[in-house]
Chain A
Amino acid sequence: MVKIEINDVTYDVPEDFTVLQACEQAGIDIPTLCNDDRLVAHAACRMCLVEVEGMRNLMTACSLKVSDGMKVKTHTPKVIEARRSVLDLLMSNHPNDCLTCEKSGECKLQDYCYEYGVERGSFVGERRDLPPDESNEFYDYDRNKCILCGRCVRVCEELQCTHALTIDNRGFGALADTPFRAGRAESTCVSCGNCVAVCPVGALLPKREKRIRAWDTKKVKTTCTYCGVGCQLELITHKGKVIGSKPVEQGEPNHGLLCVKGSYATDFINHEERLKTPLIRRNGVLEEASWNAAFDLIVSKIKETKEKYGSNSLGGFTSARCTNEDNYLFQKLFRAVIGTNNVDHCARL
């Protein structure tokens, strides 16, 4: 542990902490655009600047390690001014699109501009004017909105390990993109969406059928329904329908990563082909029926079969797709109520 003073208050923090982590622990908000605790610090955006006693320049809190006796100020006029000019510069090469941008309401750039009172970029000059990459089946890349924080590139490289992206350094045209800007479809991209999940602005966004404001959606934390990794994700809903999903930022077992199925395979939930009523076979065809009729028929068949042929003439396949609670009740129904151990599921498939 080392002692560090932040805004005149002394804190004990582990010696391998960065100043940013120390501030977080102390409950002091530091704005960040490029930082991601899971990644090697990159210090690209310079939003996290702080004043450190004895150092001439402002320092990036995300990359600076704490040391004993360090004195840090996080919100001095000098710091505020510096952050403001970072935002000013970014906005000078960013479309002033907030009114129609899908990211509005969840955009870090927008939030910080609001907080620091930056209305528009004051540097006049050439703005990027590049075509979007819409070649991925699930998400789009608006190159003009990229603020070059590099998170997408680093997530794809360091965590997803697919290496589909690179920072293409062509001066003013520097861009986080696929090699030769050939587009996602031509790259090794596996559509995991992990870059989309970390983009702090509206440069990377999932494709959506209709436009929905972020503040009109709800998010519910749950477990992915596909493979056995059990990734934690948030289902995004709008007016009672699921419109997408994204990873829970932190924690076991997936630490903010998903695969293509977890990220983009939620359409089945509100699909028109979902079964909506019970069906009973009459004269060879399945016809819609009431729950009551379906329950009655099943219960009478269970009783009849059991009476005629004994409990062991009934059996059930329970499901690796259903919850523990569903499975528990299923085997209980067969064992305790019907009286047979003929219960199995496709563990082997």
Chain B
Amino acid sequence: MTNSISEVVDNDVIFVIGTNTTENHPVIGTQIKRAKAKGAKLIVAEPRRIELAEEADVFLQIKPGSNIALLNGMLNYIIENDLHDKEYIAERTENFEELKESVKSYTLERVAEICDVDKDDIAKAARMYAESDRAGIYYAMGITQHRTGTHNVIATSNLALACGNIGREFTGVNPLRGQNNVQGACDMGGLPADYSGYQKVFNEDVAQKFEKAWGVENLPREGGLTIPDMLDAIGDGSLRFLYIMGENPMVSDPDINHVKHALESIDFLVVQDIFLTETAELADVVLPAASFAEKDGTFTNTERRVQRVRKAIEPVGDSKPDWVILMEIMRRLGYDKFYKDPSKIMEEIASVTPQYGGISYERLENGGLQWPCPTKDHPGTKYLHKEKIARGKGLFHPVEHIGSAETKDEEYPFILTTGRILYHYHTRSMTGREEGLNKIAPSSFIEINKCTADKLGFKDGETIKVSSRRGSVDVVVKVTDIIDEDVVFMPFHYACGAANYLTGAALDPISKIPEYKVSAVKLEKVG
């Protein structure tokens, strides 16, 4: 997030796109509702009539995969009606003219057709967003999990920049990160081309700095493989050894059949986790890890706040904290570096990672710190780009609507979109072991519009077969009116009837994010 969670309540326009916040980031969801109760205006753009849509001033029930069209259309309307922030654009951005040209063809009429919404609503939303001084955009996987995910993100930032909504309090472009420490995993260099702090592996100075700091030679200068690339590399025999720590791609990754094939065929698979997950079952060696309750450390939340994780109990059984396991493997491989406890690892992180430079356990004792926090006396950063945009000036980057890789056709006449529900988390390896949650949300389901269900003769609660080009699953029908007639929705949490047997039509060529949100499917009676 460019801005902070505590600013949400004081936004006066909240634009929610591609996030079902009350279920996926529930406590931020409450803040949005509070802002609304205090008088803020709420714009919601989502393929489903989610809880927040019920309270929205404008609800745009867009077709999955039409985000860019909508955002460009709003932008075009704003520019045509002279609602953009000219002073801000002149002072703090570049390339506006090109952007202006590029969105010209996104007329309300055209966009209304692509998104399948009323054009007056688009105009109303655009005006509402542009006329406010305190307008924040909030998005999540509904923006990123498309083959145009990167471009979707750029489109949101174009809109925000044109209205002067970056670099000020109560505004911003605010991605809501799904998992507890997905922000931190990125910050720490859990990416194929980045050391911690997004320092690039191919940058010579950076590489030399890390060689010195780590006391090693010849750090590789070329970027590594992403997860989808690694899975493919197993297929062609170029990847032979895979170490999976705390992930369960056998449920969470797209096109599970493909994942399974890869993991079954690799030479050697290590899985380190707290349960024998669907993925661990395929491993050659399984290492028992301590859970978050059994170790010290830090997580970085979606607003860049680094916060302490504290050990409450001893590791269960013979399990060990992940960092202890990793330290031991490094030692046995001849890299003898001993950390007494995780605070020492944080010291090393701070010494090589500019954004974390001022972070230490001592300071975190009194509450979290938001990066960038470069020095010991820096108070942390509530919102980004205050003085100027990080790269100098905010660059407008025109992006075009190209739609999704799969569209409905005769054989696969419905669009499947996926997501999470309030009562479960990710692949359920944790929440699936909570009796109460299982009672409330026992098994997978598919949301189908009432008219569609009637037409196909499906009853609520009936098990049907859902198939895509990649696989099929049996799943229970949930008849609803919150979704359009040609769109269906499934949560991805459940291993049984897993939505991800169906997904995986395409990847974003830039970020390699899979297009979870749009797959063409067909629906059939079973038996």
Contact = CB atoms under 8 A, between A and B. Distances in A.
The answer on A and B forming one complex is yes
6 nearest CB pairs, A to B: A276-B317, A230-B301, A323-B297, A341-B224, A319-B246, A259-B26
Name B's interface SS: mixed
A259 B179 contact: no
Contacts of B313: 235, 237, 240-242, 269-270
A73 to B, nearest CB: 35
A26 interface: no
A258 to B, nearest CB: 7
A160 interface: yes
Contact of A279 (B30, B285, B326): B285
Contacts, number: 457
B95 interface: no
B316 A302 contact: no
Contacts of B301: 223, 228-230, 253
Nearest to A279: B286
Contact of B222 (A302, A309, A336, A341): A341
Interface of A: 137-138, 158-161, 190-192, 218, 220-232, 235, 237, 240-242, 251-255, 257-262, 264-271, 273-281, 286, 289, 291, 294-299, 301-303, 305, 308-309, 311-349
A276 B318 contact: yes
Interface stretch (B101-109, B190-198, B394-402, B461-469): B190-198
Given A280-B284, A317-B242, A229 B28 contact: yes
A317 B244 contact: yes
Contacts of A228: 25, 176-183, 301-302
Classify chain B's interface size: 35 or more
B418 to A, nearest CB: 10
Contacts of A317: 227, 230, 242-245, 247, 249
Interface of B: 4-6, 24-28, 30, 33-34, 37, 144-145, 149, 176-193, 195-196, 201, 210, 214, 216, 218-220, 222-227, 230, 233, 238-247, 249, 252-253, 267-268, 270, 273-276, 280-281, 283-289, 291-295, 297-303, 305-314, 316-323, 326-330, 332-335, 342, 345-346, 348-349, 367-368, 422-423, 425, 429-431, 433-437, 439-440, 511-514, 516
Contacts of A314: 239-243
B316 A269 contact: yes
B227 A344 contact: yes
A259 B440 CA distance: 15
A322 B225 contact: no
A229 B220 contact: no
B349 A343 contact: no
A218 B311 CA distance: 12
Given A252-B6, A348-B512, A302 B241 contact: yes
